[in-house]
Amino acid sequence: MIRRALPLFAVLLTTVLVGAHAAPDHGEHLQLDRSAPAADSTVSTPAEIRLWFSQATQEDATSIRLVDGDGELVELGEVTPAEGRTVHSASVPGALAPGSYTVAWRTMAADGHVVRGDFSFAVASTR
């Protein structure tokens, strides 16, 4: 009895798991549309890190971390939402030494999905 039920259970579980993620009313997941600095760009020290998402995030759900090439965290200002919480920015308080940097962001979409990503940019030497 149990043995016969197991395959059916597995099928049902798979259906539930796949179905949950592909629910027809869900639509697109939130994603990062663009950023400033842009991914893989080379810039002089930016005044801020700015992220444009494809949809609004939940309130106070967005974090932006900036890490330098040595893995050291660079302190940023508070994350500030704009444009109906689709745009988020954090100020860069000081000059950045030339080198590569990684932005790691995390947010929660209105549908409750936690979305995260990262990208890199470089700060050019000043001469």
Q: Which residues lie near Cu ion (CB under 5 A)?
A: 29, 111, 113
Q: Which residue is nearest to Cu ion (CB)?
A: 113
Whole-number Å distance between alpha carbons of 18 and 30? 19
CA triple 105-89-85, angle to 5 deg: 85
> Which is closer to Cu ion, CB of 109 or CB of 123?
109
Whole-number Å distance between alpha carbons of 45 and 37? 9
Smallest separation (angstroms) from Cu ion to the CB of 109 = 5
Smallest separation (angstroms) from Cu ion to the CB of 20 = 11
Smallest separation (angstroms) from Cu ion to the CB of 27 = 8
> Which is closer to Cu ion, CB of 80 or CB of 116?
116
Q: Among candidates 67, 62, 60, 65, which has minimal Cα distance to 30?
A: 62
> Which is closer to Cu ion, CB of 7 or CB of 24?
24
> H/E element holding 42?
strand 42-43
